[in-house]
Amino acid sequence: MSRRLLLQQRLVQAIVLVVLPILPGCLFPFAVPKVSQTPLLNLGPEADQIHAFRVDGTLDFVDIGGTDHLTFSEITSTSGWLLPRTKLSSTYGIYVYSGPFSYPFYISHSLGLKLYRPGYELVELDSWEQPGKIVWNEARDLASLEKVLDQLFLMKAEEDELKVADKCLSAGSASAEHQRVLLFGAAEYEGLASHLLANGPGEKNSRARLEAKASKLRKLATKVEPAPSLRGYGPVSDE
């Protein structure tokens, strides 16, 4: 994902270097169409145990970095098959040309898939990725189960030297379905916490940590904030 963002930034800069010299003024508006699609997946006999989350990303990018806002929606399988989802969008914005201080700011959209099966490691797929057969690796202890939820709900920062954008969950106001997924995540953390004895050796802190993460998701589910945009233009359509 980070390499893709770097390539996208280089593409925008290359277009600007070619077109900008023949344009008057110092602002260069641009828009590039984009098609994203999740793969057709056979979930097999475990289909009823799997929560498949479509992840719609909206990247708000300025200069050399930005924030990718992720919105979740759970999708259901049909006879064990997860059908492809398609997103038609555009990357749009403005390149500010001011000699050595030139920079772009733009909005870009993405589409991904996260497969959550309680008791197993998370499976994450980018747009157009074809994984073949899904391999499920067990999460064997409480720490591993917590790590899976942390990965799903972005509770820990990614360690990636090439990262040019931070990721965050959208507020619950993004959609009713996204709000439902956030509350589902809170319930999963609370379920892990319920297996711990509040006064057990070394377990009190773990229980408090899990409950704090659940509380964070519940607060986010009730939060209201506007979606990232550049004055509201740049329509997106989904299928």
| 92, β-bridge pairs | 31, 107
pLDDT at 162 over 80: no
Which residue would you say has higher pLDDT here, 23 or 223? 223
- Asked if residue 154 has pLDDT above 70, the reply is yes
232 pLDDT higher than 90: no
Between the alpha carbon of residue 131 and those of residues 43, 124, 126, the distances in Å are: 12, 10, 10
Residue 114 has pLDDT above 80, yes or no: yes
At residue 19, the 3 state secondary structure works out as helix
pLDDT digits (tens, 9 = 90+) for 203-220: 888 999 999 999 999 999
- Helix, strand, coil shares, percent, the chain, to 5: 35, 35, 35
pLDDT of residue 239: 45
- Residue range of the domain that includes 78: 2-238
What is the token pair recorded at 107? 């909005």
Residue 165: exposure state from Cβ atoms within 10 A (0-12, 13-18, ≥19):
buried
Distances (CA, A) of 88 to 78, 108, 138, 161, 226: 23, 11, 35, 30, 21
pLDDT tens-digit profile of 84-104? 999 999 999 988 877 677 778
Per-residue confidence (pLDDT) for residue 63, from 0 to 100: 78
Domain tally for the chain? 1
